[in-house]
Chains A and B, each alone.
Chain A
Amino acid sequence: MSKYTEDDLKKELKTKQYEYGFYTDIEADTLPVGLNEDIIIAISKKKEEPEWMTEWRLDAFKKWKDMEEPEWANVTYEKPDFQNISYYSAPSNKPKYNSLDEVDPELLETFKKLGISTDEQKKLAGVAVDVVIDSVSVATSFKDTLKEKGIIFCSMNEAIKKHPELIKKYIGTVIPKTDNYYAALNSAVFSDGSFCYIPKGVKCPMELSTYFRINEAGTGQFERTLVIADEGSYVSYLEGCSAPSRPENQLHAAVVELIALDNSEIKYSTVQNWFPGNSNGEGGVFNFVTKRGICHNNSKISWTQVETGSAVTWKYPSCVLKGRNSVGEFYSIAVTNNFQQADTGTKMIHIGENSKSTIISKGISAGKSQNSYRGLVQINSRANNARNFSQCDSLLIGNECGAHTFPYIETKNKSSKIEHEATTSKIGEDQIFYCNQRGIDTEKAIALIVNGFSKEVLNKLPMEFAVEAQKLLEISLEGSVG
């Protein structure tokens, strides 16, 4: 990243195609398309799952069949045909690898293009990467270091086998199977995901990170992540996304559950850069994600997200502030360009006394895109002295895009204090002029101003992500002027 110069950016801007749009040709072990009970049993079998998990999936599927696809979001898209998706795909060069050398060289090449070359990160960044390529984890590093501390960081599938007591206790407790249409679908067919458990009083020494990719054509990705921070522990979790350029729409319906027990803290950061569709609005990923965390006494959950990709985003990372003095935070940058649509925001449910929440949301829309903030702040009657501050700023670039704000605020407690403010504006001509005057061309100037606009949120990202995120902002907005 350090060698990245202006010339490089120029070259990149000229080519202008989706940067990570490539397709690795690995023979994949894919189930036939369609969704029924047999498919679910087959997924469960392939995963060598215990019976209770199969039952759990089937129950979710039963409930999903009775549910209807939600339509209230401010997005329009062609609904995916759920019978036309393959619900399981895994690289076939199994079984598992013990070291990186054993990994398919083609796969390693993929990582390099993604900029997450595992060996480099091992040395430099100190990040343990649990790479999930098309739903199955193939490379896990730093496991030993984590093991010493008693931290469990593995794939969901492994956790179901090795730590059934934890999974049984916590899975579906924050996001019930019936929570919403896509959560139910995910509960029925989830392929894999990450599981993380931080024991009592342990401060996780490194940033845990997972990269997701959608590789096989027409494969829906149904990740399931569960992070549990036991009493007094701390963890920072990073999630980054990238998908190859594909003409047809791909569906991603993930579920992320965070559990912060007493006095613990979870920091969950996301950079999402999936294929947004080309400049005519064709293709792109549908991103329908359910993310929620529950905070017990004195605990804290902090969501940070940079959303630049996906054709349609439908995502509301939420906090249930159940405990006393619990804290919920939400920092978000959502950038939409061309025909992208994003309906994203958060829910802060205040139940415990003295619970506090902060919402900072920055929306940037360009091209013909639509960007909505939708948030809920709910103060229950027992949440004395609850406090919320929300700020939603939108930036419009060009006059064919839209920025929308739908904040819901519900209060049932007289001692609570809530503030909400939102602004919408465009980049000032005087600001651009100032930059032009100093020899910075308009496109760069916009990148500069957007960076400044997003600073508050970018600052919340871990270092490794902040650099990548800044670059992403520039790439997503390229071609939006003129």
Chain B
Amino acid sequence: MSNLKEKILSSFLAFENEKDIDSYVHSIRSKAIKKFESEGFPTKKLEGWKYTSLKRTLKYDYKLFPSQKDIIDFKDIQDYLINDIESYKIVFVNGKYYSNLSETTHEGMDICILSSALTQSKYDLVIENYFDKISKKDGITSLNTAFSHEGAYIHIPKNIQVDKPIQILHFSTGENESLMFQPRNLIVVDENSQVEIIERYQSITNNNVLVNSVSEIYVNKKSNVKHYKIQNDKKSSSLIDNTFVSQEHSSSYNLHTFSFGGDLTRNNLNIFQNDQRIESTINGITIIDDEQHVDHNTLIHHKEPNCTSHQDYKGIYGGRSVGVFNGRVLVEKEAQKTNAFQANNNVLISDKASINTKPQLEIFADDVRCSHGCTIGQLDNNALFYLRSRGIPEKEATALMMFGFANKVLTSVQNQEIKSMINKIIASKLAVKIGFDL
């Protein structure tokens, strides 16, 4: 583990030498690597990582800079795209931008890549105002910041309803080595605009891949962002997803996280409500088995009055999988009339699976309505019997009940294509054909 850290530290110099030393981000990167040097990778001793150990993930000798670009075709990745709809696509292969398969734009808005935004002067203002402003300065985020140079860059100016969804896709391909990536996304949505974003990290190889991504999302006044994270990677890949969302007056942010794949998945989600009348909704479905490990770590920080937040995370755990939910709602003294709700429902379908959940409320204001609920249980045997007595085989009956369990979150997905894609993934994950759409 310490070997990896040393490797990272020594390769930073080489990385930074290639870049423009005078640039604005240079000092940010240098500061970040120092922070990473002192903090290192998180260990189980940290309260936030109590139930998630990175030991298993960090034992590989990750290569930090993949040497050559692999050629991939549309057919290699088409399964991972949502094709039935028109969309903007920002495609990265092994951490590098892949223009052949991408569809970006600069007309009226910027849907492009961070590397060009960091180097071209016309983006300076946005970069200086938004880059690395809300990301946490902990070890793992700092590591990303130190190596941040590529990722999606989306800037939607005032009063624009983006006509089609934006897909951000990071692929990793077939070199015979373990790979580690530090993708960095910056999304700025200005006043009164609206956008839908689909984010996916996918490995096309069976090598060990570790993605440590950071996304900063700025949801300005009256704007509306719908965000979908589809995590259905190969079981040789791990993902540490750090997402930071800053919301302004009357804005709305809506996130769905679907965690089905990957070896270890850690979602660090931080939402900061900076003004009044803000709405944040975060939902999640987790269905995992084998040795998989999914950890949802969420923070909703209510700073001002009259805001709402709604969390609903459902999980189904089989095999020897481990599920973690660590949800924190923080209501500051000024944030009167806050309405915060948090639910975490879990089903264990295997004796070897385990769940650790910790829904926390920290409240400093008196005129608030905050509640959380959390349950752990199993599928109802009577219901199962009912279905089976009507000729539905056990496997399908179980699957039906799982669909029913997750249905509340599924129905809140408004994009039909995404919904049917998720349905398909769940059906294939459970290895059943239920023959109809829910």
Where the two chains meet, the residues of A that have a C-beta atom closer than 8 Å to any C-beta of B are 72, 379, 381, 394, 396-426
* A420 x B363 contact (CB < 8 A): no
Inter-chain contacts of A411 with B (CB < 8 A): 346, 348, 354-356, 376
- Decide yes or no: A397 and B366 within 8 Å by CB, A405-B372, A419-B375 being known contacts: yes
Inter-chain contacts of B354 with A (CB < 8 A): 410-412
Of A414, A423, A424, which is within 8 A of B350 by CB? A414
* B47 x A72 contact (CB < 8 A): yes
A423 to B331, alpha carbons, bound, how many Å? 13
Of B47, B336, B362, B374, which is within 8 A of A409 by CB? B374
A399 to B337, alpha carbons, bound, how many Å? 12
Max count, chain A CB within 10 A of own CB: residue among B51, B363, B365, B373: B363
Of B361, B367, B370, which is within 8 A of A399 by CB? B367
* B336 x A399 contact (CB < 8 A): yes
* A396 x B366 contact (CB < 8 A): yes
* B360 x A407 contact (CB < 8 A): yes
Which single residue of chain B is at the shortest CB-CB distance from A400?
B333
Of B353, B365, B378, which is within 8 A of A396 by CB? B365
Besides A410-B356, A419-B374, A425-B370, 15 new A-B residue pairs in contact (Cβ under 8 A), listed by A number: A381-B351, A399-B336, A399-B367, A402-B363, A402-B364, A404-B360, A404-B361, A405-B360, A413-B348, A414-B349, A414-B353, A422-B359, A424-B369, A425-B368, A425-B369
Min distance, Cβ A161 to any Cβ of chain B, angstroms: 44
* A421 x B364 contact (CB < 8 A): no
Q: Mark B216-240, 1 if CB is under 8 A from A, else 0.
A: 0000000000000000000000000
**Size range of the chain B interface in the assembly:** 35 or more
Inter-chain contacts of B366 with A (CB < 8 A): 396-399, 401, 426
* B371 x A409 contact (CB < 8 A): no
Max count, chain B CB within 10 A of own CB: residue among A379, A403, A416: A403
Of A396, A400, A413, A415, which is within 8 A of B363 by CB? A396
Inter-chain contacts of B368 with A (CB < 8 A): 396, 424-426
Min distance, Cβ B65 to any Cβ of chain A, angstroms: 40
* B348 x A414 contact (CB < 8 A): yes
Which single residue of chain A is at the shortest CB-CB distance from B373?
A421
Q: Which 5 A-B pairs have the closest CB atoms?
A: A396-B366, A414-B348, A418-B376, A412-B354, A420-B374
- Decide yes or no: A424 and B364 within 8 Å by CB, A414-B349, A418-B376 being known contacts: no
Max count, chain B CB within 10 A of own CB: residue among A398, A411, A413: A411
Which B281-337 residues have a C-beta within 8 angstroms of A? 333, 336
Inter-chain contacts of B47 with A (CB < 8 A): 72
Can you list 20 A-B contacts (CB < 8 A)? A394-B363, A400-B333, A401-B366, A403-B361, A403-B363, A405-B362, A405-B372, A406-B360, A407-B360, A410-B356, A412-B353, A414-B351, A415-B378, A417-B376, A420-B372, A421-B371, A422-B361, A422-B371, A424-B361, A425-B369
* A424 x B370 contact (CB < 8 A): yes
Inter-chain contacts of B369 with A (CB < 8 A): 423-425
A404 to B370, alpha carbons, bound, how many Å? 11
Inter-chain contacts of A403 with B (CB < 8 A): 361, 363
A405 to B359, alpha carbons, bound, how many Å? 8
- Decide yes or no: A418 and B365 within 8 Å by CB, A406-B358, A410-B356 being known contacts: no
B357 interface hit (Cβ, 8 Å) = yes
Max count, chain B CB within 10 A of own CB: residue among A400, A405, A407, A423: A405
A396 to B357, alpha carbons, bound, how many Å? 25
Inter-chain contacts of A405 with B (CB < 8 A): 359-362, 372
Inter-chain contacts of A409 with B (CB < 8 A): 355-358, 374, 376
A379 to B364, alpha carbons, bound, how many Å? 32
Where the two chains meet, the residues of B that have a C-beta atom closer than 8 Å to any C-beta of A are 47, 51, 333, 336, 346, 348-378
Min distance, Cβ B309 to any Cβ of chain A, angstroms: 13
Of A406, A408, A417, A424, which is within 8 A of B356 by CB? A408
Inter-chain contacts of B358 with A (CB < 8 A): 406-409
Min distance, Cβ A73 to any Cβ of chain B, angstroms: 12
* B359 x A407 contact (CB < 8 A): yes
Inter-chain contacts of A381 with B (CB < 8 A): 351-352
* A423 x B356 contact (CB < 8 A): no
Inter-chain contacts of B362 with A (CB < 8 A): 402, 404-405
Min distance, Cβ B234 to any Cβ of chain A, angstroms: 27
* B351 x A413 contact (CB < 8 A): yes
A399 to B335, alpha carbons, bound, how many Å? 10
A413 to B352, alpha carbons, bound, how many Å? 7
- Decide yes or no: A424 and B373 within 8 Å by CB, A406-B358, A411-B354, A415-B378 being known contacts: no
Which single residue of chain A is at the shortest CB-CB distance from B317?
A414
* A420 x B373 contact (CB < 8 A): yes
Which single residue of chain A is at the shortest CB-CB distance from B372?
A422
A414 to B316, alpha carbons, bound, how many Å? 11
Min distance, Cβ B299 to any Cβ of chain A, angstroms: 14
Inter-chain contacts of A400 with B (CB < 8 A): 333
Min distance, Cβ A74 to any Cβ of chain B, angstroms: 8
A373 to B363, alpha carbons, bound, how many Å? 12
Which single residue of chain B is at the shortest CB-CB distance from A374?
B360
Max count, chain A CB within 10 A of own CB: residue among B350, B357, B369: B357
A407 to B360, alpha carbons, bound, how many Å? 7
* A414 x B378 contact (CB < 8 A): yes
Min distance, Cβ B371 to any Cβ of chain A, angstroms: 4
* A418 x B363 contact (CB < 8 A): no
* B361 x A420 contact (CB < 8 A): no
A407 to B357, alpha carbons, bound, how many Å? 8
Which single residue of chain A is at the shortest CB-CB distance from B374?
A420
A422 to B371, alpha carbons, bound, how many Å? 5
- Decide yes or no: A399 and B375 within 8 Å by CB, A404-B363, A414-B348 being known contacts: no
Inter-chain contacts of A416 with B (CB < 8 A): 348, 376-377
Which single residue of chain B is at the shortest CB-CB distance from A425?
B369
Inter-chain contacts of A412 with B (CB < 8 A): 353-354
Min distance, Cβ B331 to any Cβ of chain A, angstroms: 8
Min distance, Cβ A431 to any Cβ of chain B, angstroms: 13
A426 to B369, alpha carbons, bound, how many Å? 8
A394 to B47, alpha carbons, bound, how many Å? 24
Which single residue of chain B is at the shortest CB-CB distance from A408?
B358
Inter-chain contacts of A397 with B (CB < 8 A): 366
Which single residue of chain A is at the shortest CB-CB distance from B325?
A409
Min distance, Cβ B102 to any Cβ of chain A, angstroms: 44
Inter-chain contacts of A424 with B (CB < 8 A): 361, 363, 368-371
Min distance, Cβ A198 to any Cβ of chain B, angstroms: 36
A72 to B45, alpha carbons, bound, how many Å? 12
Which single residue of chain B is at the shortest CB-CB distance from A428?
B367
Inter-chain contacts of B352 with A (CB < 8 A): 381
Min distance, Cβ A311 to any Cβ of chain B, angstroms: 20
* A420 x B359 contact (CB < 8 A): yes
Max count, chain B CB within 10 A of own CB: residue among A409, A417, A424, A426: A424
Inter-chain contacts of A426 with B (CB < 8 A): 366-368
Inter-chain contacts of B367 with A (CB < 8 A): 399, 426
Inter-chain contacts of A399 with B (CB < 8 A): 333, 336, 364-367
Which single residue of chain A is at the shortest CB-CB distance from B376?
A418
Of B336, B350, B355, B361, which is within 8 A of A410 by CB? B355
Min distance, Cβ A24 to any Cβ of chain B, angstroms: 40
Inter-chain contacts of A423 with B (CB < 8 A): 369-371
